[in-house]
Amino acid sequence: MIKLNAKIRTEARKKVNKLRELGKIPAVVYGHKVKNVLLNVDYKEFKKVLEQAGESSLIELNVEGEKEKRPVLVHELQKDYVSNKFTHVDFFQASLKEEVEVKVPLVFEGVSLAVKDLGGTLVKNIDELEVKALPQNLPHEIKVAIDGLNTFEDRILAKDIKLPEGVKLKIKPDEIIASVAHVENVEAELAEEIKEEVENVEKVEKEKKEIDVVEDEKPAEEKKPEKK
């Protein structure tokens, strides 16, 4: 299990920016029958751990001053997209006796003859697979071999993916994971999607203008004469 060190955080919310300036990330750990605890973790150390564990592998959280290690999953990440840095992390403390549902990244590997020889484009319907397992059995990633995609009719279904022992599929077995399409079809679909988005925007703008016109054309309310 990948290890990560953490310290109890006592700073008020207004002072978390100071922690970030010192190379720390404010964090919190919570879970079923687990009291919320505010923490901070070293930014560089956390980044390395995240690269190894992702959001689907169990992490051994070593909180300073606590004897027991906490088995956790990265549950939620907040990021500043201007600086491209993480600003907060939520850890979910899992029970090693209870299964959890997570989305595991898919890694497509191999060579598809439909792509190589027929000039097709690999179409990935999903990039993450929803699975259920005990926390200690969760994989960091799931590999998908595309070698079987030899024609434009071939498909890789969810049930075709080889899952690690103890890991169960949580989506429909016949759901299409990947296929190969003609380049022309992919371009046509993309153009159609763009066209639909433009039409939707134009429709909204037209409806707004019509509402504005109706509002302008409404007669002024007649004032009733005051009773003497």
Domains of the chain and any CATH numbers? 2-93 (2.40.240.10), 100-181 (2.170.120.20)
Q: Which pLDDT belongs to residue 103?
A: 94
In angstroms, rounded to a whole number, what is the distance separating the alpha carbons of residues 197 and 34? 45
In angstroms, rounded to a whole number, what is the distance separating the alpha carbons of residues 116 and 82? 38
> What is the CB-side half-sphere exposure of residue 50 using CA atoms within 13 A?
17
Q: Which pLDDT belongs to residue 185?
A: 56
Q: Which pLDDT belongs to residue 197?
A: 66
Q: Which pLDDT belongs to residue 47?
A: 96
In angstroms, rounded to a whole number, what is the distance separating the alpha carbons of residues 99 and 173? 20
Q: Which pLDDT belongs to residue 87?
A: 94
pLDDT per residue as tens, the chain (228 positions): 899 999 999 876 667 888 899 999 999 999 988 999 999 999 999 999 999 999 999 999 999 999 999 999 999 999 998 999 999 999 999 999 999 999 999 999 999 999 999 999 999 999 999 999 999 999 999 999 999 999 999 999 999 999 999 999 999 999 999 999 988 655 555 556 665 666 666 665 655 555 554 445 545 444 444 544
Q: Which pLDDT belongs to residue 223?
A: 46
Q: What DSSP line would sit under 69-138, residue for residue? A: -EEEEEEEEEEETTTTEEEEEEEEEPPTTS-EEEEEEEEEES--HHHHTT--EEEES-SEEEEEE-GGG-
Q: Which pLDDT belongs to residue 198?
A: 64
Q: What predicted TM-score, i.e. pTM, was given to this entire model?
A: 0.72
Separation of CA 180 from chain center? 24
Strands 128-133 and 59-63 come out as unpaired
Q: Which pLDDT belongs to residue 16?
A: 86
Separation of CA 20 from chain center? 24
Q: Which pLDDT belongs to residue 1?
A: 85
Asked if 70 and 2 touch (Cβ cutoff 8 Å), the reply is: no
**In this structure, which amino acid lies at residue 104?**
V
The tokens describing 223, both together, are 């004032």
Q: Which pLDDT belongs to residue 10?
A: 82
Q: Which pLDDT belongs to residue 131?
A: 97
